[in-house]
Structure 1
Amino acid sequence: MLPEYHRQSASLRARLILPATLVLLVTVIGTLGYAWLGREQGATLLDALFMTVITITTIGYGEVIRLDAAGRIFTMGIAITGIGSLFYSLTVIMDNLVGSRLLDPFGEKKMQREVRKLKDHIIIAGLGRVGKQAAAELEESKVPFIIVDPRPEVHGYAVQRDYLSMQGDASDDAVLEQAGIYRAKGLIVTSGDDASNLYIVLSARVLRPDLFIVSRAVDESSVSKLIRAGANRAISPYAIGGRRLAHLILSPTVIDFFDTVIRKGEESINLEGIEVRGDARAVGQSLAGLKLREKTGASVLVVMRGNRVLPNPEPELVLHPGDRLLALGTVEQLDRLEALVGE
């Protein structure tokens, strides 16, 4: 679509050159001509330009230069040439506007520019029921994302909600590259077919070995396959939904608490995972020495070190590269904590 769009736009711009040039030429000739005709009346160039403009635009506010027979003949020539050129120019411009909209109904050109600006974004492969929920959560969290789906109706749905989207198969390397996979922070694979999810995960892992990939598993037995294919996490929505229903009966207060803290929107309290990078200033320092609570206001609930989970960490605990802190606090408090231990 884009090559055709550019070709048609170039053609329309070329069509505009002749009439626009004629309008400019008529304006210059008319201005000089009226200046010469009104030389004995003390006419200025502004008066001459005014006469030219009201003639070719058919406004007719009144003549500021009295015309003799030669002047009237000159005016008729300016009117015939100028009016025709002006209206043809307007016709070409309207044709350009309408043609551009028909050739690019979903604003592909603008969308491509926005995609090129994306950085540290999330790619959502597939916009079914699961993908729509993921997109809604990311939008609420103000996390940039782009949707990749081959179905035209999904593309229209995304445009209506002002989501960045691309129509294409996410298992195609070229499509993932266009979606900015080399600049992406993560990939969410939500297709309703495990085979498609497997191909998408494999393609993404080859292109970006360090990309964090989360995949939907339609069948519980596909979870291990998706993990082996390269997904960091593979989740069965049905299994998650079943466990959630059971937990709502067994521990409703706990579930309500986690529903509150894991939502990033305008909630007053949030739960965030923060990784300690290898070059961070916090490496080698204890929690007590860092004074995290005093400096940030956030509370560190858990330290995850590899496969070990260290709940209620002691103040003497020394942070290692790759440690992940599970912390509780407001958005501002968590931002301060991330700045202190993550950089």
Structure 2
Amino acid sequence: MEPIKKIEIGLIVMFCIVVFFSISFSYFENLTLFDSFYLTIITMFTIGYGEIHPTNDFGKLTAILLALTGTSVGIFTFGSTLQLFVEGYFRKANRMRIMKNRIKNMDEHYILCGYGRIGKVVANRLAKRGTDFVVLDLSEENLVSEFEKNPDFNYICGDATLDECLIEANIKNAKTLISAMPKDSDNVFVTLSAKRLNPNIHVVSKAEETVSMDKLLIAGADKVVSPYMIGGMRLAELAIKPDVLDFFSTFMSIANYEYNEDIDLRKYNISKKYEGMSIFELLNHINYNVSVIGIKSKNGSLSVNPSKDTILHIEDQIYVFGTYDQLESFEQYIN
């Protein structure tokens, strides 16, 4: 039985005992209800001041029964309350220890700095993909709330602009850092710190102001995203080309929600192993049903919807379309 349930039962039984014995003392000892209640309490909790005490055999027998039952119920209730706090503390401490060890042993993981509205969307997306990630934020309430719902949630409550917090997030072994801090100045600082601690880490940062985008790139960010710019472009495209975007959105929605297929578009670099192969030979060699919808050569030229006879060269980048599982398997072979 859960401790909270034991406490509820104990309190109910204690209330019944107090009512029953208060009435009994009032009847056998000819006391007022208040004096009977007072005698019941001091007897149950073994206080015994002595100014009110049983004077006849029936009163003394009632006191004996109260001492046996009331004390036992009181100990039971107190023990259950203590158990609740002790188990809760140690359970939380154990879960925190497991989480810290999990973060310490992570490799090629993501670090998400900022758990606001945008940060939560990013975290949900990473969790859906099964990606290992750590959230860094100052709002302990939001982090603990998420941790209570999901024991696999990894977080560090601290200032992401501080080196010690990034080190605690195991930035040395991290693959990507996503900076979604509320202030652009904080995103710049996080980017600088991340690149200093791990020069090879891939940094994607949010920019509230357009003027901050160049500063973030200078600070070392590999990619900078402006939510307002993307939102504005989306609104404009929906107004100019509603049919095309509606078709694509509908297609993605049907695939995701009706057929439970997580369709995605990814970019891969062509290694020396596949130098001189055609697209057809590559897909046939790997034997995966994905679609190559674009090729970007090392000189920067982009070919959309290339034919299957197109020859691949080292350092070419191919854009591949497929389901999440197909792309995961394709990535294992192409790399």
Residue aligned with 1:296, SS: coil
Are the counterparts in 1 of residues 266 and 321 from structure 2 also a CA contact under 8 Å? no
Aligned counterparts of 2:190 and 2:283: Cα–Cα separation in 1: 44
CA distance in structure 2 between the aligned counterparts of 1:99 and 1:335, rounded to whole angstroms: 41
Give the letter aligned to residue 115 of structure 2: L
| Aligned pairs for 1:1-343 within 5 A | 98=86, 101=89, 104=92, 107-162=95-150, 163-256=153-246, 257=248, 261=252, 267-268=260-261, 270-276=263-269, 278=271, 281-292=273-284, 295-306=287-298, 307-340=300-333, 342-343=334-335
- One-letter amino acid of the counterpart of residue 277, structure 2: Q
Structure 2: 5+ residue stretches without partners? 1-78
Moved more, 173-182 or 312-321: 312-321
| Contact 1:122–1:187 under 8 Å retained in 2 | yes
Q: Displacement, 1:137?
A: 1.4
Query: For each residue in 1:24-54, what CA deviation from the matched residue of structure 2 results, as whole angstroms up to 9, or x when unmatched?
Result: xxxxxxxxxxxxxxxxxxxxxxxxxxxxxxx
* Whole-angstrom distance in 1 between the partners of 2:105 and 2:236: 43
* Aligned equivalents of 1:171, 1:321: Cα separation in 2: 39
Q: Relative to structure 1, is the Cα distance of residues 324 and 160 closer, same or farther in structure 2, using a 3 angstrom cutoff?
A: farther
Q: Distance in 1 between matches of 2:91 and 2:263?
A: 45
Amino acid in the other structure paired with 2:275 = V
Which consecutive residues of structure 1, in runs of 5 or more, have no partner in the other structure?
Answer: 1-90
What TM-score, normalized by structure 2, do the two folds share? Answer: 0.65
> In the alignment, what sits opposite 2:75?
none
Deviation of residue 304 (structure 1)?
2.4
| Structure-2 separation of matches of 1:208 and 1:136 | 25
Provide the C-alpha distance between the structure 1 equivalents of 2:217 and 2:100, rounded to a whole number of angstroms: 32
| Alpha-carbon distance in structure 1 between the residues aligned to 2:250 and 2:160 | 31
Give 1:137's aligned amino acid.
Answer: R
CA distance in 1, matches of 2:313, 2:297: 8
Offset, 1:272: 2.6
Shift of 1:207: 1.8
Query: For residues 163 and 260 of structure 2, what CA distance do their matches in structure 1 show?
Result: 38
Q: How many residues align?
A: 250
The structural deviation recorded for 1:217 is 0.3
1:99/1:224 Cα in 2 relative to 1: closer, same or farther (>3 Å)?
same
Does the 8 Å contact 2:109/2:133 carry over to 1?
A: yes
Match of 2:264, SS state, is strand
Identity in percent: 28
